[in-house]
Structure 1
Amino acid sequence: MNQDILFADLQSWDSERQAVCFPAQQAGALIRCWVRLDWLEKKAEMALTDEAAILAAFAEYRFDLEELAESSIDEENFNQDGEIIIG
């Protein structure tokens, strides 16, 4: 685990993007990380139809998501807006 990348215990559902945002911080820079709903549904093996269920699934897979985000940050796999997208 990269000690230079920190994750706050924050997450929020964005219904327009159909994704959960969870922030990371590296060298003082805030990096918005996103996991798409379809990724969460695939991992949970069920449809997630409300915000509470979506955030519960996110919490269940948070460790895996942070590892994936760390790898993407280390590999500089940012989108055009400087964000990390999983899924």
Structure 2
Amino acid sequence: MNQNILFADIQTWHSDQQAIHFPAQQGGALINCWLPLSWLQQQSECALSTPEAIITTFIEYRFDIEDIAEAMIEDEDFNDNGDIVIK
């Protein structure tokens, strides 16, 4: 794990975007990371229908999700807004 990229234990469900937002920090810069609900449902093989179930499942997969986000940050795979969106 790259110690230059830090992830806070913060995650927020955004129903309008059907995605979970979780922040990362690299060299003092805040990076917005997003995980689509579809990705989480595919990985967990569960239909997640409540915010509580979505967040709980995100936490269960947190280390894998952070590994993917970290690799995307290192590869500078940002979208047009400067965010990381896991696909």
What range describes the TM-score normalised by the shorter chain of this pair? over 0.9
Deviations 1:29-48 (A, max 9, x none): 00000000000000110110
Q: Which residue of 1 aligns with 2:37?
A: 37
Q: Which residue of 1 aligns with 2:66?
A: 66
Aligned alpha-carbon RMSD (Å): 0.5
Question: Where do 5+ consecutive residues of structure 2 fail to align?
Answer: none
Aligned length: 87
Q: Which residue of 2 aligns with 1:19?
A: 19
The CA distance in 2 between the partners of 1:84 and 1:24, in whole Å, is 10
Q: Which residue of 2 aligns with 1:8?
A: 8
1:53 correspondence with 2:53: yes
SS at match of 1:34: strand
Deviations 1:32-75 (A, max 9, x none): 00000000000110110000000011001000000000000000
**Runs of 4+ with >2 A deviation:** none
Cα offset, 1:2, TM superposition: 0.5
TM-score by length of 1: 0.98
SS at match of 2:21: strand
TM-score by length of 2: 0.98
Cα offset, 1:7, TM superposition: 0.4
Q: Report percent identity of matched pairs.
A: 55
Report the AA paired with residue 58 of structure 2: F
SS at match of 2:81: coil
Report the AA paired with residue 40 of structure 1: L
Question: Where do 5+ consecutive residues of structure 1 fail to align?
Answer: none
Report the AA paired with residue 71 of structure 2: S
